[in-house]
Amino acid sequence: KAGVTQTPRYLIKTRGQQVTLSCSPISGHRSVSWYQQTPGQGLQFLFEYFSETQRNKGNFPGRFSGRQFSNSRSEMNVSTLELGDSALYLCASSFTTGNSPLHFGNGTRLTVT
Amino acid sequence: SQELEQSPQSLIVQEGKNLTINCTSSKTLYGLYWYKQKYGEGLIFLMMLQKGGEEKSHEKITAKLDEKKQQSSLHITASQPSHAGIYLCGADGMSQTSGSRLTFGEGTQLTVNP
């Protein structure tokens, strides 16, 4: 079974721009979660989607948004990029929304200059 | 305050030595997950523990959840350089603010010297 696929792997953007990251979950997984990882803050939860509905959202500004499609693929968007948005963005999928492990992709490394 | 405390923050051991990493919570853990991460890459799922006193092993790695379900340990026997990386514990339903699927500890950086 193919794992979680995130594209692109690396991205360099300028302050003020917007960016869209993509995630394809493991086949059969309907839940997709997004995390931001930085050296100072560790892994911070962004949001979780299940069957195209956002179930939970972390404490991030409205510039961070996401969506999930009918095939469970997910995208996250960050508008008006700030230097502090530079991070590794990780997507994870799971079969259900609880009591099942998250399986992570290799992430998208976003650098904002 | 951190909801999941991991200790130690970093660990340097000689190849062949045993080691233990701890994950402690002030709340009952209903699902505890251990992951390993190589720098700049995704997290690799190792083990999931749910029942008090549960113990699971995979190759040379053993994870335990205590009877009170507030502490978990990860033990590596006869460490190898391939064990090097960041080990993170994650728990279900910990966050009262974001409803995060999993809340993670800050991680333990393991270095294994040949």
Q: What is the pLDDT of residues B52-110, one digit of tens each?
A: 999 999 999 999 999 888 999 999 999 999 999 999 999 986 655 555 678 899 999 99
CA distance A102 to chain B (A): 7
CA–CA separation, B56 vs B43, rounded Å?
19
Cross-chain residue pair B41–A107, CB shorter than 8 Å: yes
What local confidence, expressed as pLDDT, does residue A49 receive? 94
Tell me the pLDDT tens digit for each residue of A63-96.
999 999 999 999 999 999 999 999 999 999 998 7
CA distance B15 to chain A (A): 27
Tell me the pLDDT tens digit for each residue of A95-108.
877 778 999 999 99
Distances (CA, A) of A72 to A32, A93, B34, B97: 8, 9, 25, 26
Q: Any CB–CB contact under 8 A between B58 and chain A?
A: no
Residues of A with CB under 8 A from a CB of B: 4, 6, 31, 33, 42-43, 45, 48, 55-59, 88, 90, 92, 94, 97-99, 101-107, 109
Spell A50-77 as b/e; 16+ CB within 10 A means b: beeeeebbbebeeebbbebeeebbbbbe
